């Protein structure tokens, strides 16, 4: 019997400089995708996968995130009074159970591996998930849930994986594949941000992980890697070096890189089209836009 995965780390300490000036006064995780902040998509996915404890690794200026997860009794009362039941339900769906959220500060921007390490005392001796909220994944079965189901069979550590064009590989952690079993690959090595032409495959790591506690131990004495940062990829690769299993999981779903402006816009269009309330009208608008050249000018 594998242990249940009930804790997830959300590294949200990044400055979001790619979205300046928007992120001058709001955390990028609060930026809206249709009608929900990015972070809500990550939380909903984690909840669907059975996560009960939510650990945010934050930094200065992320107070709006804490406020977002606070209950809003005055707002709720006002909606109730006005009989705005639907809105009230939407609002309540964001409420988190008291004590389910913890915030840890990452005092220095030393990389993703370091951010995860900052949460080590809240994880102790159990497998845990890591979710990067920048990677938004639209899927019938939420990506983390797919992974947890697969993990029940395999154990070990597991990363979400997706084929990327060879040119894009240098923006990712990339898997060196030992055995390809279709939806799952076993991994021989991992390289963070390989130089162009040096990637061991075109199977890239996407921001969902299920990790064994030994990865945290690996982070204890890890030196900085690619980009001068302490890399989570290197800590996972160390598992392989110590003969522990690491798997890549080809999830079913569409991933949007909401850490980039282009990806964020694409996600906005995709989620806008999929939205029950807005989808039809928005599709109509888009059709007009693309049939009338230069309509946006």
Pick between residue 123 and residue 205 the one whose CB is nearest to ligand G1P: 205
Angle at 58 between CA 7 and CA 53, to 5 degrees: 15
User: What is the closest distance, in whole angstroms, from the C-beta atom of residue 8 to ligand G1P in the complex?
Assistant: 16
70 DSSP assignment: S
Pick between residue 7 and residue 114 the one whose CB is nearest to ligand G1P: 114
Pick between residue 117 and residue 282 the one whose CB is nearest to ligand G1P: 117
User: What is the closest distance, in whole angstroms, from the C-beta atom of residue 239 to ligand G1P in the complex?
Assistant: 15
Please report which helix (H) or strand (E) contains residue 138, including its range: strand 135-138
In 3D space, the residue among 140, 136, 162 whose CA is nearest the CA of residue 29 turns out to be 136
User: What is the closest distance, in whole angstroms, from the C-beta atom of residue 259 to ligand G1P in the complex?
Assistant: 6
User: What is the closest distance, in whole angstroms, from the C-beta atom of residue 207 to ligand G1P in the complex?
Assistant: 4
Residues lying near ligand G1P in the complex (CB under 6 A): 112, 132, 135, 172-173, 192, 204-207, 231-233, 259
Pick between residue 156 and residue 259 the one whose CB is nearest to ligand G1P: 259
User: What is the closest distance, in whole angstroms, from the C-beta atom of residue 232 to ligand G1P in the complex?
Assistant: 6
Cβ 195 vs Cβ 89: under 8 Å: no
Pick between residue 135 and residue 176 the one whose CB is nearest to ligand G1P: 135
Distance CA 53, CA 119 (A): 12
User: What is the closest distance, in whole angstroms, from the C-beta atom of residue 225 to ligand G1P in the complex?
Assistant: 10
Pick between residue 94 and residue 253 the one whose CB is nearest to ligand G1P: 253
User: What is the closest distance, in whole angstroms, from the C-beta atom of residue 236 to ligand G1P in the complex?
Assistant: 9
Please report which helix (H) or strand (E) contains residue 58, including its range: strand 53-58
Pick between residue 29 and residue 79 the one whose CB is nearest to ligand G1P: 29
Pick between residue 79 and residue 174 the one whose CB is nearest to ligand G1P: 174
Q: Which residues contact 47 (CB under 8 A, 6 or more apart)?
A: none
In 3D space, the residue among 57, 236, 69 whose CA is nearest the CA of residue 132 turns out to be 57
292 DSSP assignment: S
b/e burial code for range 21-55 (CB count within 10 A of at least 16 → b): eebeebbbbbbebbeebbbbbbbebbbebebebbb
Cβ 136 vs Cβ 45: under 8 Å: no
| Continuous H helices in the chain | 38-48, 63-69, 73-81, 85-92, 112-118, 120-123, 143-154, 214-220, 232-241, 261-274, 279-291
User: What is the closest distance, in whole angstroms, from the C-beta atom of residue 135 to ligand G1P in the complex?
Assistant: 5
Residue nearest to ligand G1P (CB): 173
């Amino acid at each position: 019997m594998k242990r249940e995965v009930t804790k997830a780390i959300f590294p949200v300490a990044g400055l979001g400089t790619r979205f300046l000036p928007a992120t001058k006064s709001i955390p990028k995780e609060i930026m809206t995708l249709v009608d929900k902040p990015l972070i809500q998509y990550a939380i909903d996915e984690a909840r669907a996968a059975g996560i009960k404890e939510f650990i945010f690794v934050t930094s200065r200026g992320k107070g709006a995130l804490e406020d977002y997860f606070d209950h809003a009794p005055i707002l709720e009362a006002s909606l109730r009074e006005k009989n705005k039941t639907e809105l009230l339900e939407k609002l309540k769906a964001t409420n988190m159970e008291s004590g389910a959220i913890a915030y840890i500060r990452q005092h220095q921007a030393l990389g993703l591996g370091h951010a995860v390490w900052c949460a080590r005392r809240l994880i102790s001796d159990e497998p845990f998930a890591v979710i990067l909220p920048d990677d938004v994944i639209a899927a019938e079965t939420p990506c983390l849930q797919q992974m947890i189901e697969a993990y029940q069979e395999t154990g070990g550590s597991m990363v979400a994986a997706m084929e990327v064009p060879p040119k894009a590989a240098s923006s990712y952690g990339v898997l060196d594949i030992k055995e390809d079993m279709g939806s799952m690959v076993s991994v021989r090595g991992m390289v963070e941000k390989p130089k162009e032409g040096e990637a061991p495959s075109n199977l890239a790591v996407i921001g969902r992980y299920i990790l064994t506690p030994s990865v945290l131990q690996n982070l204890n004495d890890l030196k900085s890697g690619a980009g001068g940062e302490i890399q989570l990829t290197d800590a996972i690769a160390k598992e392989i070096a110590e003969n522990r299993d690491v798997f890549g999981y080809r999830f079913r779903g569409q991933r949007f890189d909401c850490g980039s402006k282009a990806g964020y816009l694409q996600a906005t269009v995709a989620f806008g089209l999929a939205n029950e309330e807005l989808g039809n009208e928005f599709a109509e608008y888009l059709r007009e836009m693309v049939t009338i050249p230069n309509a946006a000018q």
